[in-house]
Structure 1
Amino acid sequence: MSAEHDRLADAVAEAVPWRRWGPYLSERQWGTVREDYSGTGDAWNHFPHDHARSRAYRWGEDGLGGISDDRQLLCFSPALWNGADPIVKERPFGLTNGEGNHGEDVKDYYFYLDSTPTHSYMRFLYKYPHQAFPYLDLVETNGRRGRREFEYELLDTGIFDEDRYFDVEVEYAKAGPEDLLVQFTVVNRGPGEAVLELLPTLWFRDTWSRGEGPRPRLTSPAPGTVRAEHPDLGTYHLYCEGGAELLFTENATDRRRVFGEENGSAFVKDGIGRHLIEGADTVNPGRTGTKAAARSRLVLPGGGTGVVRLRLARGEVRSENDLLTGAFTRILDARRKEADEFYSAITPAGAGEDQARILRQSLSGLLWSKQFYAFDVDAWLAENGVDPWTSPATRDQEWFHLDAGDIISMPDKWEYPWFAAWDLAFQAVAFAAVDPDFAKRQIELLLDNRYLNPNGQIPAYEWNFSDVNPPMHAWAARFVFMIEYRLTGAADHEFLERVFHKLLLNFTWWVNRKDPEGSNVFDGGFLGLDNIGVFDRSAPLPAGGRLEQADGTAWMAFYSQCMLQMALDLTDRDPAYEELAVKFAEHFLWISAAMGRADGPSPSMWDEKDGFFYDVLRTPDGNASPVKVRSLVGLLPLCASTVYRPRGKGRGLRFQERIEALAARHPQLLAGLSLAAEEGENGTHLLSPLNEENLRRVLARLLDEEEFLSPFGIRSVSRAHAGQPYVFTAGGRDYEIGYLPAESDNGMFGGNSNWRGPVWFPMNALIIRALLNLHEFYGDGFTVECPSGSGRKLTLDEVGHELSDRLSRIFLRDADGVRPVYGGQRKFQDDPHWRDLIMFYEYFHGDNGAGIGAGHQTGWTALVSTFMILFGKLDER
């Protein structure tokens, strides 16, 4: 065990608040629904980036590589100015959904290099050009490009030519839970002298202007010292090294600039930037306010380095000589070493240097993805003039009960700075490898009464809480439960039981709301796979009618299985759960049978000729047509495969008898399934929508390199559609889908409609999980060709390892030293100051593995570390 493991244990026991401070600032608060008071739902334009430096936020704060306390009352973040920019760099810049030719996209280069679970040590790197940041060029050039053209990136502008930029690295190290050491190391990578204004900034989130509490204040009791006094948080001091100049203003809207109105004071949110760039009298000479920066002017020769140190501590630190000298260095070195020890302890034995780097940076990015998320929907509706009971329908009106104020793992703190239900489930699984306690809290969070709708629905995401995300919480809860047990030997049945009872409500919501005909065939619209079909499944369907979704139905079969497994896990403690296990087994059998039953309405989702599952569109005139797109929609039934072991006279005996009786009563209806009555390896039983014959047919497509099997994982759409797009005719109109390995050329979802071919980690994770489950039942005697037609026979366990290796290959250097994730970006491939800075994208090119979409979606893409740990460390056990 490492020192960080000890701190984590203290934090879990809540004996020491090691997690009180962390990277809880968003990278983007502007352009979010919760800051939208437009009345039209146009969040991007109501609060654009151009307002962010001047306009105080309502619900949260943002910054560049910053930190805050766990209620985000006091915030700290670096700000930078190169002497050429029109504004101070306080937050990352990016294009809005309407500005980018492939949707919203951050344009700065920043990297999460390190973090421990308690954030006792963190490291962040930002690359800041010497020249003026090309804001207008990025907007205009991307605006001229079409969907079939590449995005215009910051490197494409030439601003990093001749290495004329600064590497700005910030390290945070905790001397105690509320005593943070901050070190900035700035390197001029360019050939000549360059000047950087470094402005570490401390400010309070605005919790006072609406009468919600008394006003806090920042003052300067001594040179180089800022005192922060807050009625709830207490008193902190920021100590600044050397001769830093302290600049004070207020975290208040510059109404003159934003709205053309008079300001009550010259000291407003953008006052420090205006003073620095324009020489304006917009900083308070009395050295008091709610926002303050410690200005250091670094004049660096070519290749030169500058170091600036600060310390943010609760109360007062007695010995000022120790603040930023000897003790500072010793503590910082100790935290670096302890972070090394922590990651060494969880890295599988035999992992190479590059594998260890990928694991560490992916998990560090995941840990950096935490954000304080506050949103009282009732208050927000009232501030928008909406009465949830009487006003016409408006966004999220039926979620007026939702009252968030928590640390939540975000998919990407710039592109997706809000929770998404199914993302959060995958992120919790990744978190389980480093902090099982936090993983469990994240799973329980959306099931809390402050989030869960009284009708049982889990909120999807703030753009539309009522949208339908895939039901992943049951799977994630049990997976986290099992990972913690495998890693620590502790089985937290109390957690499993709490989650199970809340999920009973959610499962019932699904059955009542998404199976309108009671036929065990489900719809749901979005369901995560938003642009994988030929038309928008969340919109009114062409020719009317109803779409029977193979993925929606498979999600519910999978949900039933996960609830069944949890019920069996709890049966040892309470036999009453066996009845619930039977309930969910019956749900699974009826749902799975409905997917491919021979005696049901024709056609069924299972296509006997193709050996694949498809959606079926049933129109009001009584006609029905399969939508024959070979995609993840048809692979999801493979994922609904669960193995369990009835045990003697205890757990599962009566359960097993009742399942066998059900199968005996309905042999024709259940003929296409793998039934629980059949015993596999080591006394296992399998529940799967696919019998062995049909399983082999689906696997043949899955592992065909001309269809789904990419060198870098499983594609979301079959490559067979590359030369032969699928066309579906309905309502007198043709709808078409082809294989697109990178960005979609379709604007169906406003911008980044991107499921039409790329590799996605979450779906690959579910496929790998299914393969391992199926191997547990079928054993080593069941082999398939991998790739199909190659003559190379692998067990399903080996196929799972093969897919994991292909996914890891995206990030690893190949024989030529090239990382596929960076495609043709030579700066990232060749430059020693860039080539080991790994970004974890939202999805990946289906043919060459290049990263696409959100560049910091370490959330579910951090599953690469889960694969490494599960296939490495746990295999040895």
Structure 2
Amino acid sequence: MPTVELDLVERPFTERGSRLLVTAAPDGLRVARAEYETPLDATTELTALVVHDPAGRLVPVASTTPSELAFANGVSLMFADPSTLVIAGQHAHASWRLSDGTAQALALNGCHVLVGPPGGWSEQAVRTAAEARWERWFAQMPAVRPDLAERARMAWWTLAVNLLPIGGREGLVPSKYGYVGVWNWDALFHAVALRHASPALARDQVLLLLDHQLPDGQLPDVVHDQGVLAETTDLPRSDLARLTEHVGRANGTALSPSAVPVTKPPLAAWAVWKIHRSDPDLPFLASVYPKLVRAHTWWFTASDPDGDGLPEYLHPYSSGLDDSPVWDYGPRAEPPDLNSYLILQADRLADIADALGRPADAAEWRARAAAHTELLLAKRWDGTRFRTLAGGSPVPVRTVLDLMPLITGRLPRAVAAALEQELRSSHYWGEHPLPTVPFDDPAFDPDAMWRGPVWLNVNYLLIEGLHRSGFTTTATELRRRTLAMVRDAGGLYEYWNPLTGTRATHATSGFGWSAALFVDLAAQPDG
């Protein structure tokens, strides 16, 4: 069975459904627990785990695969179940320190629980079960080209280990390193890949959000172990402190002290329709359609403070673009992506209505998409670009969001061609496109999250948009360069430096939507 070698740094030894992470440290192995908004240093179960042979010599780790962490003398760590990490072997000694500093030691003569509830386990039974679990999972991976297979297997493993019980379902968290909850936007991108293995699991990612929909129709930003994050009073203090570093710094406009809704860009109907096309399920469509309509309507009733028919983001986190330079001009902003998503959503709601045998609804949604496109053009297209507003005024900074109206597939040919030409210009088109801020903009920073690095979700959406707008050659080339960048960079990162194509300085590893969208792009036919 093809598998993945884990380095115990970017790729910890862990298991689907488990909060436990085994990583390497200078003094041995560490076992910590992944929890929402909690650093691993605060959830350490044990540290300095080492193995010695009967003569007292230190035994190194020989290999780590998804099913087993093996020391050179046959001692192994394995998951008996998501809560239970065992150590198994003969004629060896293991030692470690508990989180309070207490030293522990064990003479190995079978299979012992290292972390988890007491119980008796058979080494061979644990190994056989673990190997079978991972064989079943990798067997579900969609086929990809041979040159993409190694990175695709890593991505497929990432999706499995990031699955945790969250909010009453099995949710895929963005990363066990610091992102232990189900984020709204991420869940929808995760569903795109999970539909290849388990459409039911993909549907659960959407249902996790809809289960926690607010009475006014808003979808929460995060579903986590303690509840949801749906407004600014729910934010951790560290987030508030970080936001003050850049929000409004160009003009001094501060964050509001009162509660503000926090959500993520509207793509739920887009994800639902992708899942349905892979695995038609009319009862599922019928059950989610009213909730999707309410979520769509929320943007127009609760997130359009100037009443011009073009909703805006009321908070930086609602955009998913936490530190984008558009927020330098204030905590409210209207980049062109939001209304582009809403147009796309209206068309997908039309598709869902058609599938449910509701032609009048479908016609209304398509009419709304057309009218919304006309309004976006009339109010935000200046003849050369779609303008971004902050607090009602245009901002000078340019971002890749200026190109997002391509995803609608509804732009006049001349406007779409102008955007495609800009995308292919030296402002954006390098060996590793697309930077989130163009190379020549004064705000460009290749390592600062949304101020320059490449993000897979942006590229993925624009690849779709280019196809939808008739620019197949550019879409194909953007897909090729995106896949090559991820293949060659060494890991599934949160974002990439667009100058080098390598991991950006502060990007986390094992990132869920990077894994999900890489798999989906790699599974698409070439050409």
Provide TM-score, normalisation by structure 2: 0.75
> What is the DSSP-based 3-state SS (H/G/I as helix, E as strand, rest coil) of the residue aligned with 1:497?
helix
> What is the DSSP-based 3-state SS (H/G/I as helix, E as strand, rest coil) of the residue aligned with 2:327?
coil
Offset of 1:615 from its aligned partner? 1.5
In the other structure, the counterpart of 1:634 is 402
Residues of 1 paired with 2:360 and 2:86: CA distance? 59
> What is the DSSP-based 3-state SS (H/G/I as helix, E as strand, rest coil) of the residue aligned with 2:453?
coil
Q: Cα deviations across residues 560-583 of structure 1 (Å, max 9, x unaligned)? A: 22212222232xxx2xx2222222
AA aligned to 1:457 is Q
In structure 2, do the counterparts of structure 1 residues 328 and 581 end up closer, same or farther at CA, with 3 Å as the change threshold?
closer
Contact 1:452 1:458 in 2 (8 A): yes
Q: Does 1:503 align with 2:292?
A: yes
In structure 2, do the counterparts of structure 1 residues 310 and 559 end up closer, same or farther at CA, with 3 Å as the change threshold?
same
Identity among equivalent positions (%) equals 20
In the other structure, the counterpart of 1:648 is none
Q: Given the alignment, which residue of 13, 19, 24 partners 1:65?
A: 13
In structure 2, do the counterparts of structure 1 residues 844 and 79 end up closer, same or farther at CA, with 3 Å as the change threshold?
closer
Offset of 1:316 from its aligned partner? 9.6
Where do 5+ consecutive residues of structure 1 fail to align? 3-26, 28-62, 98-103, 107-127, 131-163, 173-182, 189-195, 206-227, 229-236, 250-268, 277-293, 299-306, 374-403, 486-490, 542-546, 598-603, 620-624, 642-687, 726-737, 744-753, 776-795, 813-818, 822-837
In structure 2, do the counterparts of structure 1 residues 201 and 412 end up closer, same or farther at CA, with 3 Å as the change threshold?
closer
AA aligned to 1:532 is S
Contact 1:411 1:418 in 2 (8 A): yes
Residues of 2 paired with 1:367 and 1:850: CA distance? 24
| 1:267-278 equivalence runs, <5 A | 270=99, 274-276=102-104
Q: Does 1:862 align with 2:503?
A: no
Contact 1:456 1:506 in 2 (8 A): yes
AA aligned to 2:415 is N
Q: Cα deviations across residues 397-443 of structure 1 (Å, max 9, x unaligned)? A: xxxxxxx3432111111121122101111111121122222001111
| 1:515-534 equivalence runs, <5 A | 515-525=304-314, 526=316, 527-534=319-326
Offset of 1:184 from its aligned partner? 3.3
Q: Given the alignment, which residue of 423, 437, 444 partners 2:200?
A: 437
Contact 1:551 1:636 in 2 (8 A): yes
In the other structure, the counterpart of 2:484 is 809
Offset of 1:864 from its aligned partner? 1.2
Q: Given the alignment, which residue of 395, 415, 440 partners 1:694?
A: 415
Residues of 2 paired with 1:340 and 1:535: CA distance? 41
In the other structure, the counterpart of 2:440 is 720
Residues of 1 paired with 2:398 and 2:40: CA distance? 29
In structure 2, do the counterparts of structure 1 residues 432 and 537 end up closer, same or farther at CA, with 3 Å as the change threshold?
farther
In the other structure, the counterpart of 2:466 is 771
Q: Given the alignment, which residue of 589, 595, 603 partners 2:376?
A: 595
In the other structure, the counterpart of 1:452 is 213
Q: Does 1:428 align with 2:161?
A: no
Residues of 2 paired with 1:505 and 1:430: CA distance? 26
Q: Cα deviations across residues 764-809 of structure 1 (Å, max 9, x unaligned)? A: 111111122233xxxxxxxxxxxxxxxxxxxx22322211110111
Offset of 1:169 from its aligned partner? 1.9
In the other structure, the counterpart of 1:844 is 496
Residues of 2 paired with 1:495 and 1:93: CA distance? 32
Contact 1:716 1:760 in 2 (8 A): yes
Residues of 2 paired with 1:499 and 1:844: CA distance? 35
Residues of 1 paired with 2:108 and 2:377: CA distance? 70
Contact 1:614 1:633 in 2 (8 A): no
AA aligned to 1:407 is E
Offset of 1:712 from its aligned partner? 2.2
In the other structure, the counterpart of 2:64 is 169
Contact 2:94 2:108 in 1 (8 A): no
Contact 2:34 2:178 in 1 (8 A): no
In structure 2, do the counterparts of structure 1 residues 708 and 507 end up closer, same or farther at CA, with 3 Å as the change threshold?
same
AA aligned to 1:626 is P
| 1:671-682 equivalence runs, <5 A | none
CA RMSD of aligned residues (A): 4.4
Q: Given the alignment, which residue of 67, 90, 101 partners 2:31?
A: 90
In the other structure, the counterpart of 1:117 is none
AA aligned to 1:718 is P
Contact 1:105 1:854 in 2 (8 A): no
Q: Does 1:710 align with 2:430?
A: yes
> What is the DSSP-based 3-state SS (H/G/I as helix, E as strand, rest coil) of the residue aligned with 2:323?
coil
Q: Cα deviations across residues 239-281 of structure 1 (Å, max 9, x unaligned)? A: 95547889999xxxxxxxxxxxxxxxxxxx746x5033xxxxx
Offset of 1:472 from its aligned partner? 1.3
In the other structure, the counterpart of 2:173 is 410
In structure 2, do the counterparts of structure 1 residues 247 and 453 end up closer, same or farther at CA, with 3 Å as the change threshold?
farther
In the other structure, the counterpart of 1:759 is 454
Q: Cα deviations across residues 36-92 of structure 1 (Å, max 9, x unaligned)? A: xxxxxxxxxxxxxxxxxxxxxxxxxxx963448x6x7xx77658897x47xx72228
Residues of 2 paired with 1:412 and 1:333: CA distance? 23
Offset of 1:505 from its aligned partner? 1.2
| 1:277-426 equivalence runs, <5 A | 295=106, 323-324=122-123, 341-343=139-141, 346-348=142-144, 351-352=145-146, 354-373=147-166, 404-426=167-189
In structure 2, do the counterparts of structure 1 residues 334 and 528 end up closer, same or farther at CA, with 3 Å as the change threshold?
closer
AA aligned to 2:13 is G
Q: Cα deviations across residues 586-614 of structure 1 (Å, max 9, x unaligned)? A: 322232222222xxxxxx31111xx2101
Contact 1:615 1:627 in 2 (8 A): yes
Q: Does 1:184 align with 2:75?
A: no
> What is the DSSP-based 3-state SS (H/G/I as helix, E as strand, rest coil) of the residue aligned with 1:810?
helix
Q: Does 1:568 align with 2:354?
A: yes
In structure 2, do the counterparts of structure 1 residues 498 and 756 end up closer, same or farther at CA, with 3 Å as the change threshold?
same
Provide TM-score, normalisation by structure 1: 0.47
Contact 2:192 2:516 in 1 (8 A): no
Residues of 1 paired with 2:34 and 2:424: CA distance? 41
Contact 2:156 2:515 in 1 (8 A): no
Pairs aligned (count)? 466
> What is the DSSP-based 3-state SS (H/G/I as helix, E as strand, rest coil) of the residue aligned with 1:414?
coil
AA aligned to 1:528 is G
Contact 1:478 1:562 in 2 (8 A): yes
Contact 1:198 1:296 in 2 (8 A): no
Contact 1:78 1:198 in 2 (8 A): no
Residues of 1 paired with 2:306 and 2:520: CA distance? 40
In structure 2, do the counterparts of structure 1 residues 330 and 202 end up closer, same or farther at CA, with 3 Å as the change threshold?
closer
In the other structure, the counterpart of 1:552 is 338
Offset of 1:550 from its aligned partner? 2.4
Residues of 2 paired with 1:204 and 1:129: CA distance? 20
Contact 1:197 1:296 in 2 (8 A): no
AA aligned to 1:357 is E
Offset of 1:512 from its aligned partner? 0.3
